[in-house]
Chain A
Amino acid sequence: MSETPGKGLLDGLAVTLKTLTKRATTQQYPDVEPDLPPRSRGVIALSEENCTVCMLCARECPDWCIYIDSHKEEVVVPGAARARQRNVLDKFDIDFSLCMYCGICIEVCPFDALHWTPEFEYAETDVLSLLHDKTRLGEWMRTVPPPPAHDVLGEPSKEEATAARKAAGPGAATAAKTARPAAVRPRPGADR
């Protein structure tokens, strides 16, 4: 009891009065759209043509909410010794009633077939309707924000570097040589 009695009571009154004069922090959501960060994790979109049915996403999914089915098709290449086979995607469902939005499927996809989009208004009155099939997942692709621009100070992509090297001919500078200026190591004891 070092401070004057009743000070705490008055301080409490001051806090509530101060809050009264400030603007409320309430977001008027259905009336006003929320101001979300551009790369919010709302729903997962599927770019069907990128999918090779490698099943990595379905196997990595922690709660097994991705269902994939496919069949094989023969591709006859003229002049080839025998016909080749490729996987054709029949079913790609994500059950958003199970999904926990960890994003591992998107991380793990080697061909950029899965993307986050910031759309979040897909609530349903029936839980079964939360199972989005590949058509519905494909529709979300329209809402995927463009990827962030490349870092201007970063290394050029491998494709660009290879093309440049080929164009310059053998023995020219490689990406590894041109990316950064060579570090100059100070001679020991030079500044003493």
Chain B
Amino acid sequence: MDLVVRVLAVMAGFLVLPLVVGQVEHKVMAHMQGRVGPMYAGAFHGWAQLIADGVKFVQKEDITPKDADRTVFQLAPIVALFPYLIVIMTIPLGPGLVGASLDIGLFLVLAVLGIGVVAVLMSAWSSANKYSLLGGVRGAAQLLGYELPLVLSAASVAMAAGTLSLPGIVEAWQPWWLIWQAPAALVFFVAGLAEIRRPPFDMPIADSELVFGYMTEYSGLRFAFFLLAEYVGIVVIAALTTVLFLGGWHGPYEQQLGWLWTLLKIFALAFVIIWLRVTYPRMREDQLQRFCWLILVPVSLGQLVLTVAVKSLV
């Protein structure tokens, strides 16, 4: 019974949170550009726009190109979406409020996030399209590169907390970690942005040169899965940054209102992700790789040294 409730709660969060973030993105992006965004769907300020989009996607024809590798092509969107579901399962909302409390939660999360690159390569190769392939190869290079700073900065906070369990990390968290772990937090957040291929790290999609990258040949429901994966990705990266670096449920009345603090922090970070997307132009492929290998990786390595040094002193 308890398990059923937990799974249902995680599924609800998995389906509702991305839609809220997507709607917020529509409206925030519009107003940042001096527009009003969707206004008609659902009558009040277009609140039902994403539901209408979903209905539209379901009605569309599900096309598989003739030369495509059918099985792989049709499986790729699921592979893109499913890892995020597992990640959301392990994220603690409040004290004791977690889908699945694992001792090696962080390890599992990082391992599962790495599956994203497989989905990208699957969709790219099976589409039998040059744009898809180029986008996929770019995506693979980007995801493999940014995996390193992501894991290193997460390792730093795991060392500081002395545990790999996500609730354990939140419990061990102290407010002064905000300064101590600040470089790791920045690196994790930025690398996370690159992992979910959000602008300014959307070189694999790059609609002005690659049509839509590895998603070019997708339509209908499978394309909607890819889009949903992007929004779930925002939630996941915001939630992981919250849990690892911003103290998760810590805040006033955390025993009762812990879940509220976690959600507030997640939405604040989601807003920042949207804000960055509106503000910055896409990074070029070489800039993207240089930024990863020459800035993020050294910074995260330096943070590891700092963490060990402070840890041995305290």
Using a CB–CB cutoff of 8 Å, the interface residues on chain A facing chain B are 9, 12-13, 15-17, 19-20, 22, 24-26, 28
Q: Which A-B residue pairs are the 10 nearest by beta carbons? A: A16-B32, A24-B36, A26-B36, A16-B279, A12-B279, A20-B32, A20-B31, A16-B278, A25-B34, A19-B32
Q: Are A15 and B279 in contact (CB-based, < 8 A)?
A: yes
Name B1-55 residues within 8 Å CB distance of A: 28, 30-36, 39
Main secondary structure of the interface of B (DSSP, over half): helix
- Chain A residues with CB under 8 Å of B39's CB are 28
Q: Are A12 and B280 in contact (CB-based, < 8 A)?
A: yes
- Chain A residues with CB under 8 Å of B28's CB are 20
Indicate the member of B28, B30, B39, B278 with the most A CB atoms within 10 Å: B278
Q: Are A16 and B36 in contact (CB-based, < 8 A)?
A: no
Q: Are A24 and B30 in contact (CB-based, < 8 A)?
A: yes
Knowing A12-B280, A16-B275, say if A26 contacts B35 (CB, 8 Å): yes
- Chain B residues with CB under 8 Å of A25's CB are 34
- Chain B residues with CB under 8 Å of A24's CB are 30-31, 34-36
Number of B residues whose C-beta is below 8 Å from A?
14
- Nearest A residue to B280 by beta-carbon distance? A12
Q: Are A19 and B275 in contact (CB-based, < 8 A)?
A: no
Shortest CB distance B190–A (Å): 12
Q: Are B36 and A13 in contact (CB-based, < 8 A)?
A: no
Indicate the member of A9, A12, A13, A20 with the most B CB atoms within 10 Å: A20
Q: Are B279 and A19 in contact (CB-based, < 8 A)?
A: no
Q: How many Å lie between the Cα of A18 and that of B31 in the bound state?
A: 10
Q: Are B34 and A13 in contact (CB-based, < 8 A)?
A: no
- Chain A residues with CB under 8 Å of B31's CB are 19-20, 24
Task: Pull 6 A–B residue pairs with CB atoms less than 8 Å apart, ordered by A.
Answer: A9-B280, A17-B32, A17-B275, A20-B31, A24-B35, A25-B34
Q: Are A22 and B34 in contact (CB-based, < 8 A)?
A: yes
Shortest CB distance A12–B (Å): 5
Q: How many Å lie between the Cα of A25 and that of B30 in the bound state?
A: 11
Q: How many Å lie between the Cα of A20 and that of B36 in the bound state?
A: 10
- Chain A residues with CB under 8 Å of B276's CB are 13
Q: How many Å lie between the Cα of A28 and that of B30 in the bound state?
A: 14
- Chain B residues with CB under 8 Å of A15's CB are 279
- Chain A residues with CB under 8 Å of B30's CB are 24
- Nearest B residue to A22 by beta-carbon distance? B34
- Nearest B residue to A13 by beta-carbon distance? B279
What string of 1s and 0s marks CB contacts (under 8 Å) between B279-295 and chain A?
11000000000000000
Shortest CB distance B191–A (Å): 17
Q: How many Å lie between the Cα of A74 and that of B279 in the bound state?
A: 75
- Chain B residues with CB under 8 Å of A16's CB are 32, 275, 278-279
Q: How many Å lie between the Cα of A15 and that of B276 in the bound state?
A: 12
